[in-house]
Amino acid sequence: MLYNENEQQFENPLDEIEEGYRAKMKEATQKIKDASVQTETKTAAGKDGAAGHIRKAMPAKKNPRPVFVIGHKNPDTDSICSAISYAWLKNQITDTEHLPKRAGNISRETQFVLDHFGVEAPELLTDVRPQIRDIDIRKAPGFDGHMSMREAWEYMRDNVLDTLCVTKEDGSLEGLIAVKDIADAYLDLFDTAILGKAHTSYQNLLNTLEGKMLVGDPMGHIQRGRVHVGTSPETMISLISEGDIVLVTNRYEAQMIAIDLGASCMIVCVDSEVPERILEKARQSNCAVITTPYDTFAASRIVSMAAPVKHFMKKDRLLTFDLDLPLDEAMKVMASVRHRYFPVLDENGQYVGVISRRNLLGMHRKKLILVDHNEKSQAVDGFQEARILEIIDHHRVGSLETSGPVYFRNEPLGCTASILYKMYKENDVEIPRHIAGLLMSAILSDTLLFRSPTCTPFDTKACKELAGIAGEDVNEYAEKMFSASDDLTGRTADDLLFTDFKIFEFGDKRLGAAQGLFMSRASCRQVEEMVSGCLDEAREKKGLNMFIYMLTNMRDQSTRLLYAGDGLDEVIGEAYHVEARDGKADVSGMVSRKKQLIPPLQQLIG
């Protein structure tokens, strides 16, 4: 034997240790039974199992989903200002959060209004189809990659999950670990060097073996070596190399040989006592000593599960969903793969939680209030899959249908903002300056400074009262507001044609009608040059039978109609009793699309 010279030293310690071996085995067996059904880790460092590796606990309380107040596509000043003003009113009189949104780009006139009264533009919302954010996302926490495989499995078992998400300190997704990955690692019996390859922490080893560290640094890491079971001195001499991890029992000789052969860590099973002489030798040899209640068979089976999940997790080509992904697209992806859980990331790439196919059953449709329109062709995309709660409008009753009863308020006034002014009064809510300024601007815009035939005495009265609250002179302010549209710097034909654009349906015919309001004849001439050659292309782009652009001169109170579509020369000539040819017609006194342009066309075409 290797230790003949020390043979006499072995006799007394062996007798002393083996004397109570049977009693110790009986006690250890009971400990193993208890430990196998518990998930609480008992270690010197005081770790709390998988909970100690949670990056960020997910909030259990869910905020109520907001109601979106939104106007029509290609919004005008009334559409934007009414959305902001009505959302503000609803937030004063209800407990539900109401958020203003816009379904298109903001015109220069509207931007002037917002800047003048220091109001931010509503966020763009072009599609209200259900998205990932509209279902109940399971708030499964993210874990750091140093969690042991055993802790991962225990958390999955206790929380009925088959996938855990591993996140970085900044909350971004780092990888996924699934039950299958844990099973593969557990059944890989031949990779005895896994603890060193994975740079496993001693803390993980203590947690997995439910052990105590008698010698060594619990915060250290295993850098190399294979795992061996020290069965007999002869076998140990032929198998163990420097840096290995060795599992032993209470045999003094086996413990001494493990240290002398250069083991980096010795795991003593069944909580066997380790003589002080062995501990001192381990300190001198820089060999960690850990005790565990498990016997060598159980310990050798689970020791590899101390390896961190980051070594086994999937890191490449992760299948994730963004909060804004439409549900129908997510369903297609789910149907094409066999995964059960899918991580969800927010707009900043931060991990939010997980979803499964079951979550799709709990979809919450977006809740909408529509202002300044009730035509389906003008409504935000996907409105059919949303829940419409209210419609506030001053136009003709259109073709929009809802899935259930709604609060519908439609009054023959010149502006939606005039209706909202009434509603503020009805609810006895004081109108702040910035809201008064928005409502006033909307009325001035829609009634063309009270010159439009759609304007009513109430519109005029409301606008002047609102101007008093806002501290503005109506005529001076209107001049500045309308002049904002005359700046054509950087504008394109598409921008001019679709900034204030609406689609009307007359039977099987679709008409697109856009309007541009300008204060000077020079601006009108420049706009005509820009858009005249683009009307046919615009008509085809929107799938229309006819396209009409109202080029309105505010000072002259007249409109030049620029149009494209078969037979429109004859239709426009008959409708407005003017000469119409080569895609042009001048109509004196025409300023309103709603009351002057559309009704005669509807009568002839519809």
**Per-residue model confidence (pLDDT) at position 546:** 93
Full-model pTM = 0.68
Q: Which helix (H) or strand (E) holds 417?
A: helix 416-426
Q: Which helix (H) or strand (E) holds 328?
A: helix 327-336
- Compute the C-alpha angle 90/422/517, nearest 5°: 95
Residues of the chain with pLDDT under 70: 1-52, 55-63, 189, 606
- Give 335-368 as a DSSP string: HHS--S-EEEE-TTSBEEEEE-GGGGGG--PPEE
C-alpha torsion sign, points 443, 449, 452, 457: positive
Query: Do you know the residue count of the chain?
Result: 606
**Per-residue model confidence (pLDDT) at position 48:** 59
Three-state DSSP at 241 gives: coil
Residue 545 and residue 539: Cα distance in Å, rounded? Answer: 7
**Per-residue model confidence (pLDDT) at position 189:** 60
Residue 273 and residue 164: Cα distance in Å, rounded? Answer: 38
| 180 Cβ contact list (under 8 Å, min separation 6) | 162
Chain centroid to CA 541? 32
Chain centroid to CA 535? 39
Burial zone of 321 (CB within 10 Å; 0-12 exposed, 13-18 middle, 19+ buried): buried
| 63 Cβ contact list (under 8 Å, min separation 6) | none
Architecture of the domain made up of 4-57+158-311: 3-Layer(aba) Sandwich (3.40)
Angle 433-447/108-116 helices, nearest 10 degrees?
Answer: 150
Question: Domain-by-domain residue ranges, the chain?
Answer: 4-57+158-311, 71-130+366-483, 493-605
**Per-residue model confidence (pLDDT) at position 51:** 62
* Mode of pairing for the β-strands spanning 501-506 and 558-564: unpaired
Token duo for residue 86: 């009505």
Residue 14 and residue 21: Cα distance in Å, rounded? Answer: 11
CATH 3.10.310.20 describes domain 493-605: yes
Chain centroid to CA 528? 44
Three-state DSSP at 410 gives: strand
**Per-residue model confidence (pLDDT) at position 398:** 81
**Per-residue model confidence (pLDDT) at position 338:** 77
Residue 125 and residue 348: Cα distance in Å, rounded? Answer: 18
CATH tag, 71-130+366-483: 3.90.1640.10
Residue 516 and residue 26: Cα distance in Å, rounded? Answer: 93
Three-state DSSP at 372 gives: coil
